[in-house]
Amino acid sequence: MTARSLRVWAWLHKWSSLICTAFMLLLCLTGLPLIFAHEIAHLTGKAVELPEAQAKSGLAALDAVVAAGRARHPERIVQYVSPDEEDARLWYVTLTPTPDPTDDYRSVAVDGRSATVLAEPRFDEGFMYWMTRLHIDLFAGLPGKLFLGFMGLLLVIAIVSGVVLYAPFMRKLAFGSVRQASGPRTRWLDLHNLLGIVTLVWALVVGATGVINTWADLLIKYWQYDQLSSLLAPYKGQPLVPESERAPLQRTLTAAQAHLPDKKLSFIAFPGTAFSSPHHVTFFMKGNTPLTAKLLQPVLVDARSAEVTVAPALPWYVTALLVSQPLHFGDYGGMPMKIIWALLDGVTILVLGSGLYLWLKKRRQLPAAARALIQPEATV
C-alpha cells in the first residue's frame, strides 16, 4: 500500500471516528440497559404477572378480551392486540385516539382466561422509556432515526478503515502487543487497536444492523406501497369496515391459524391501522424458534367474511429488517448471549473512549512540539 493511500485511509478513519464517537458512546450507554429490558421490567415490578387460577379453566374468547380492554377507554379505538411473549394467556390491547400512528396510546393488560383487566402498564414514561427513545431516535422521530443511521454508517466506515490501517501498523509488532514501556499514549494506542480488532465482527454486525433498523419506517411504508397496494386493489375505494359489520375476532383468528398451522400469533392489526387495510384484520404470524420468532408473515383476513384474502411472504428488505433487530440487541439466545452482548458493548465503549483520548492527547502535544521548535530560535 502506498504512502498516499495510507494517508487517505487514515483521514477517513480519523474523521469518521471523530464525528460519530459522541453519538456512538450515547448509543452504547443507552443500549446496555435495553439488552436486559425484560429482566429490568421484572426486577422493578413493571412486568405484568398473571394471577394463579383458582381452578383449572380454559381461555376466554378473544372478542371478550378485546371488549375488556376497550371498556377501559371507550373513547379510543383498538389498534393492536398481542399475546405476551412468555405467556400467551396474557394479552395486551393497544388503544389510540385514531387509527393513525401516534405516540398517544394506552396499553391494557387482560387475563386471557377470565377476560379481566389486570393492569395498564405505561411504556411512555420512566427510565427505560428515556433509554429507548434516546437509543432509537433522540426524541426526534424519523429525522432522529435517520441521523443516527448516518452516524452508524460513519461507524462502519471507521471500522473498515481501521482494519485497513491495522495491518501495516502491526507489521513489526506481534499480535496483541501492548507496549508497556513506551508511555501512556502508546499503551492506549496499542490497547485501542487490540480491542478494536477483537470486537471487529461484533461491532460491524451491531453497527450495520443498527443502520438497517433506522430505516424501519421507510421500509414498512415502501412495502405497503410496493406490495400491499397491488394485493388490495380489489378493495380500493371501499370505506373502512365499521365494527358493527365485522365478523367475530375469534373466528378471524381461527381462519388465520388454520392457514398457517405451523406458526403462532405475534400481533393483530385492526382495520385502518398502519399495518393493515381498511377492509382486513391482519394477523402477523411468527415461527417457533428463538430466531424465526422474529420473522413475521402477515395473514390478511376479510373483516366481514372472516375468510383469508392473502398471506404474502415478506420481501427480502423487510426480512432483513426483522433479522437485524434480534442481531442488534442479542435477544434471541437467552441470558448467555445477552451477557456476551453486554460485555462486548462495554469493550466498545473502551474503544470509543480510547480513540477520543488519543485524538485529544495528540492535539495537546502538537502545540507543545511547535513551541519546542520555536524556543531555541528565540534564545539565540
Predicted confidence (pLDDT) per residue in 92-122, tens digit: 999 999 988 888 999 999 999 999 999 999 8
Structural domain total, the chain: 3
Residues 238 and 323 placed together within one structural domain of the fold: yes
Would you say how long the chain is, in residues? 380
Separation CA 132–CA 350 (nearest Å)? 22
Does any domain span residue 219? no
Residues 136 and 86 placed together within one structural domain of the fold: no
CATH number, residue 285: 3.10.450
Residues 325 and 337 placed together within one structural domain of the fold: no
pLDDT at site 128: 92
Does any domain span residue 321? yes
Of 87, 120, 153, which closes a domain?
120
Residues 302 and 369 placed together within one structural domain of the fold: no
pLDDT at site 189: 78
pLDDT at site 376: 42
Residues 145 and 33 placed together within one structural domain of the fold: yes
Does any domain span residue 78? yes
pTM greater than 0.85 (yes/no):
no
Residues 34 and 166 placed together within one structural domain of the fold: yes
Does any domain span residue 103? yes
Does any domain span residue 177? yes
Residues 177 and 59 placed together within one structural domain of the fold: no
Does any domain span residue 346? yes
Of 83, 99, 120, which closes a domain?
120
Separation CA 257–CA 306 (nearest Å)? 12
Structural domain of 106 = 47-120
Of 306, 329, 352, which closes a domain?
329
Does any domain span residue 370? yes
**Pick from 114, 105, 106, 99: which is nearest to 65 by CA?**
114
Residues 306 and 231 placed together within one structural domain of the fold: yes
pLDDT at site 172: 67
Residues 198 and 344 placed together within one structural domain of the fold: yes
Residues 165 and 235 placed together within one structural domain of the fold: no
Does any domain span residue 222? no
Residues 256 and 319 placed together within one structural domain of the fold: yes
Spell out, as residue ranges, where the chain has pLDDT lower than 70: 1, 53-57, 169-178, 180-182, 365-380
pLDDT at site 373: 41
Residues 28 and 177 placed together within one structural domain of the fold: yes
